[in-house]
Amino acid sequence: MAHPVSLAEVWRGPFLESHHSGHAVICDGSGQIVSAWGDPDAVVLPRSSSKMIQALPLLTSGAADARGLTTEQLALSCASHQGAAIHVDRVNRWLTDLGLNDDALCCGPQVSRDTDLKIEMIRAHESPCRVHNNCSGKHAGFLTLTQHLGAGPNYVDLGHPVQKACLEAFETVTDQTSPGFGIDGCSAPNFATTMHGMARAMAWFATAAQRSDTMSTAGARLVEAMHTHPELVAGEGRACTRLMRVSKEPVALKTGAEGYFIAILPTRGLGVAVKAADGATRAAECAIAAILVKLDVLDADHPEVKAFLSPTIHNWDGLVTGEIRPAPALLV
């Protein structure tokens, strides 16, 4: 079994002060590995990087079309959003359309990560709601599917029809039997797979538009929604949104907790999965940016790309004291 390899380095002046290790895999549309760093067979929890997989049953069941969901709602179903007004207002309208309210969401209340809305709520003495949770769009999708199936309200239970459908979709696109699951921050099961399995799944999404079966058509619609509405997938200041906006071609990018990141590249038919072994977001962002630069999907000199590829480190007095760099092996 291969060990994690260095993905990102932290330099202070002329000294390599620390580094982040992990795994990364690129797969083509046939599911074969094109490039790999670390261990492709490492078992991981992809966390929110798997949201587009969890959204597949929303479309394949017919629930999305029965409700007339828009591309914005499809993007939100794949999102880890900021809890900004642009996100919260849309999810609230979605719940209203379903005849539901905040209490129907199984994700817990979360303080908005949008500074303006957070300050506004503090001044108004308003408590955070479940709709402010970064996963509320995914959960609105779960509720839509729940209603379509006529199932019970506890849609995050492992035995619920929604989660059974999610597991079936997950094992289909990863082409692996999941070895188990963990409970995610939003209370839904998060199914495990290997790095190869997750990269294979992202390549499946990347080539979905080339196929005409129901699940592939659903996958292609989700990818299109994500790259059409990057501001809904994450939000201002976030790597997913900023890098999708400046890519040289349509791509779908999605972060996940504990140092996970994926990329779906429809033009090239490639899928990418990255995992920082220590769970560091800065490492995963640097590594995904480096791989996309290597593939010529991103311009290394673009300021938005440099913000994640080689971000500077400042001290409390504003002095530049170092920088984060991708490990050299990622750029070869």
pLDDT tens string 72-118: 999 999 999 999 999 999 999 999 999 999 999 999 999 999 999 99
Q: How confident is the model at residue 1 (pLDDT cuts 50, 70, 90)?
A: low
Does the pLDDT value for residue 331 go beyond 90? no
Its pTM stands at 0.97
Position 227 scores a pLDDT of: 97
Domain extent listing, the chain: 5-331
Taking only the tens place, the pLDDT of each residue in 170-179 is 999 999 999 9
Taking only the tens place, the pLDDT of each residue in 281-308 is 999 999 999 999 999 999 999 999 999 9
Does the pLDDT value for residue 279 go beyond 90? yes
Yes or no: domain 5-331 corresponds to CATH 2.60.40: no
Taking only the tens place, the pLDDT of each residue in 207-255 is 999 999 999 999 999 999 999 999 999 999 999 999 999 999 999 999 9
Position 159 scores a pLDDT of: 98
Position 63 scores a pLDDT of: 98
Taking only the tens place, the pLDDT of each residue in 122-163 is 999 999 999 999 999 999 999 999 999 999 999 999 999 999
The percentage of residues in the chain with a pLDDT greater than 90, rounded to a whole number, is 99
Pull the structure tokens for residue 315: 């001290």
Q: What is the 3-state secondary structure (H, E, C) of the chain?
A: CCCCEEEEEEEECCEEEEEEEEEEEEECCCCCEEEEECCCCCEECCHHHHHHHHCHHHHHCCHHHHCCCCHHHHHHHCCCCCCCHHHHHHHHHHHHHCCCCHHHCCCCCCCCCCHHHHHHHHHCCCCCCHHHCCCHHHHHHHHHHHHHHCCCCCCCCCCCHHHHHHHHHHHHHHCCCCCCEEECCCCCEEECEEHHHHHHHHHHHHCHHHCCCHHHHHHHHHHHHHHHCHHHHCCCCCHHHHHHHHCCCCCEEEEECCCEEEEEECCCCEEEEEEECCCCHHHHHHHHHHHHHHCCCCCCCCHHHHHHHCCEEECCCCCEEEEEEECHHHHC
